[in-house]
Structure 1
Amino acid sequence: MVFASLLKDWTNDDFLTLERGVILAQHALAETGLFSDENLARILDNHPESELTISTMGDDPTRFDWIEGERNGASGEQIIRLVHEGKLWLNVRRILDFDREIREAVDSIYAELESRSPGFKAEQRSANLLISSSTAMVPYHVDMPVNMLWHIRGRKRVWVYPHFDLRFVSQTVLEKVCAGELSEDVPYDPAFDRFALVFDVEPGQLLTWPQLTPHRVQNLGGFCVSLSTEHKNPRARRRINVHEANYWLRRNCGRFCRSTSADDWKAYVKQALIRGIRLSRRLTAGKAKDQFVYSKAFKIDLDQPNGISMIEQAQVVIPRELQTSGSES
Structure 2
Amino acid sequence: MQRIVEPLDAHERELWGSQTITLRHNLASLDLFSDGYLAEMIESAAPRSVAIHAEGGSDPSDWPSVSRGTASGAQVLDAVRGGMLWLNLVGISEWDSRFAELADQIFAEFSEQVPGLNIVKRKLGVLVSSPKATVHYHVDVPGQAIWQVRGRKRFIIYPSAEPFLRQTDLEDAVRSATYGVASYQPWYDDYATPHDLEPGKALHWQLNGPHRIENFDELSVSLTSEHWTPDIRRTYAMNYGNGLLRKYGWRPRSTSTSGPAFWGKVGLTAAYRKSGLQNKHGYQRITKHTIDPSTPTGARPLPESEWAPPGA
Instruction: Work out whether the TM-score is over 0.5.
Output: yes
- Residues of 2 paired with 1:122 and 1:75: CA distance? 36
CA offset at residue 288 of structure 1?
A: 6.3
Give the secondary structure class of the aligned counterpart of 1:115. Answer: helix
CA offset at residue 281 of structure 1?
A: 4.0
Q: Does 1:295 align with 2:286?
A: yes
Q: Bigger shift: 293-302 or 93-102?
A: 293-302
1:63-91 alpha-carbon deviations (Å, 9 max, x no partner)? 97522111112111110111111111101
- The residue that corresponds to 2:255 in the other structure is 260
Q: Is the 8 A contact 1:122 1:231 kept in 2?
A: yes
Q: Does 1:106 align with 2:97?
A: no
- Residues of 2 paired with 1:81 and 1:63: CA distance? 23
CA offset at residue 261 of structure 1?
A: 4.2
- The residue that corresponds to 2:38 in the other structure is 40
- Residues of 1 paired with 2:59 and 2:244: CA distance? 30
CA offset at residue 135 of structure 1?
A: 1.4
- The residue that corresponds to 1:320 in the other structure is none
Give the secondary structure class of the aligned counterpart of 1:289. Answer: helix
Q: Does 1:67 align with 2:64?
A: yes
Q: Which runs of 5+ in 1 are unaligned?
A: 317-329
Of residues 170, 173, 176, the one that matches 2:169 is 173
Q: Bigger shift: 287-296 or 229-238?
A: 287-296
- Give the RMSD, CA atoms, in angstroms: 2.3
Q: Is the 8 A contact 1:56 1:136 kept in 2?
A: no
Q: Is the 8 A contact 2:54 2:299 kept in 1?
A: no
What residue identity is the alignment partner of 1:211?
L
Q: Which runs of 5+ in 2 are unaligned?
A: 308-312
- Residues of 2 paired with 1:189 and 1:289: CA distance? 29
- The residue that corresponds to 1:323 in the other structure is none
Q: Is the 8 A contact 1:62 1:188 kept in 2?
A: no
Question: Quick one: structure 1 residues 276 and 168, their matched pair in 2 at CA, closer, same or farther if it must change by over 3 Å?
Answer: same
- Residues of 2 paired with 1:133 and 1:243: CA distance? 34
Give the secondary structure class of the aligned counterpart of 2:195. Answer: strand
- The residue that corresponds to 1:115 in the other structure is 112
- Residues of 1 paired with 2:22 and 2:58: CA distance? 24
Question: Quick one: structure 1 residues 215 and 311, their matched pair in 2 at CA, closer, same or farther if it must change by over 3 Å?
Answer: same
- The residue that corresponds to 1:210 in the other structure is 206
Of residues 82, 85, 89, the one that matches 1:85 is 82
What residue identity is the alignment partner of 1:260?
T
1:300-321 alpha-carbon deviations (Å, 9 max, x no partner)? 135545432113349x9xxxxx
Identity of aligned residues (%): 31
Question: Quick one: structure 1 residues 303 and 84, their matched pair in 2 at CA, closer, same or farther if it must change by over 3 Å?
Answer: closer
Q: Does 1:269 align with 2:265?
A: no
Q: Is the 8 A contact 2:13 2:114 kept in 1?
A: yes
State the number of aligned residues: 305
- Residues of 2 paired with 1:63 and 1:88: CA distance? 12
Q: Is the 8 A contact 2:240 2:269 kept in 1?
A: no
CA offset at residue 251 of structure 1?
A: 2.9
